[in-house]
Amino acid sequence: MTEAKTKSVNMTFPALFSYVMNTNYRSMSGILGLVLSFGAIVMLVIGWNTTSGRQKAIFIIVALMFTVINPLSLAFKTFKQLKTSPSYKQPLVYTFGDDGIGVSQGEEHMDLEWKGVYRLLMTKYMLAVYTNRMHAFVIPLDQLGDDKGKILASVVNFTAGYKPRVSRSLRYIKEKVSAQKKPLQSAKSLRHRQSRARCIVCMVILDAARRCSRRVLVQDLA
């Protein structure tokens, strides 16, 4: 049984915006929108000398629609939601344990078992723990402090048996934490071997001293 980690976190704009962008642009409509915008860019470049001004204007609008306009709109909505939504006024308290995640806010509390995790998604700014295809707990990574690596590794370990969908960036967390522990373990092992060697040397010296003292005593008696 591992020690449960408890963290009180406040939602941040980078974390929430990262979640919103991933939710929108990982969907089929978001992917099609990007394809449409990049297609318009290609058509604009190829046909710049042969298209009319009106066609160029249409291509430019379509090109900017899902690459600039929509992200700016999502950023504005995210910022407004962060400032006005009551759910972001108080911090969320997450407890990461062997059985799952406990989530508390004020007097409300709920538990999510690891087997109930549908998907894990990590970006530079947040970890999203999905309970189904549409809903997730968004945890800002900068709020986890020095325990970030251990918490992420424990989340991966605890959910491994249930095989939820895991983003590629999370698959290497366990290896990184293990790699960080190996030098520490090696150093401890080296210190242990050195300590044993010193003990053996001391025992040999003491034994030699006892033998010498016995010889001197025998000679004196003789």
**Based on the domain organization, do 56 and 126 belong to the same domain?**
yes
pLDDT at 129: 92
pLDDT at 28: 87
SS3 state at 222? coil
Give the structural domain span for 39: 1-167
C-alpha 190/C-alpha 184 separation (Å) is 10
**Based on the domain organization, do 52 and 4 belong to the same domain?**
yes
Instruction: Give the global pTM.
Output: 0.72
**Based on the domain organization, do 184 and 139 belong to the same domain?**
no
Burial of 140: CB neighbours in 10 Å, binned 0-12, 13-18, 19+: buried
Task: Please give the tally of structural domains in the chain.
Answer: 2
End position of a domain, from candidates 147, 167, 187? 167
Express the helix, strand and coil content of the chain in percent, nearest 5 each.
65, 15, 20
- Return the axis-axis angle of helices 28-46 and 53-64, rounded to nearest 10°: 150
End position of a domain, from candidates 151, 167, 183? 167
pLDDT at 12: 95
- Which segments of the chain have a pLDDT < 70? 1-3, 164-165, 167-222
**Based on the domain organization, do 97 and 19 belong to the same domain?**
yes
**Based on the domain organization, do 193 and 83 belong to the same domain?**
no
**Based on the domain organization, do 82 and 163 belong to the same domain?**
yes
Residue range 187-205, pLDDT digits in tens: 455 455 656 656 665 565 5
Residue 48 identity (one-letter amino acid): W
pLDDT at 203: 65
Among residues 108, 155, 134, the alpha carbon closest in space to that of 4 is found at: 155
Residue range 111-138, pLDDT digits in tens: 999 888 888 889 999 999 998 888 899 9
**Based on the domain organization, do 107 and 185 belong to the same domain?**
no
**Based on the domain organization, do 154 and 196 belong to the same domain?**
no
Say if residues 78 and 88 touch (Cβ distance below 8 Å): no
End position of a domain, from candidates 167, 183, 205? 167
**Based on the domain organization, do 101 and 65 belong to the same domain?**
yes
How large is the C-alpha radius of gyration of the chain?
A: 31
**Based on the domain organization, do 4 and 56 belong to the same domain?**
yes
pLDDT at 10: 94
- What DSSP element (H or E) covers 149? helix 148-159
pLDDT at 207: 62
**Based on the domain organization, do 116 and 205 belong to the same domain?**
no
**Based on the domain organization, do 156 and 180 belong to the same domain?**
no
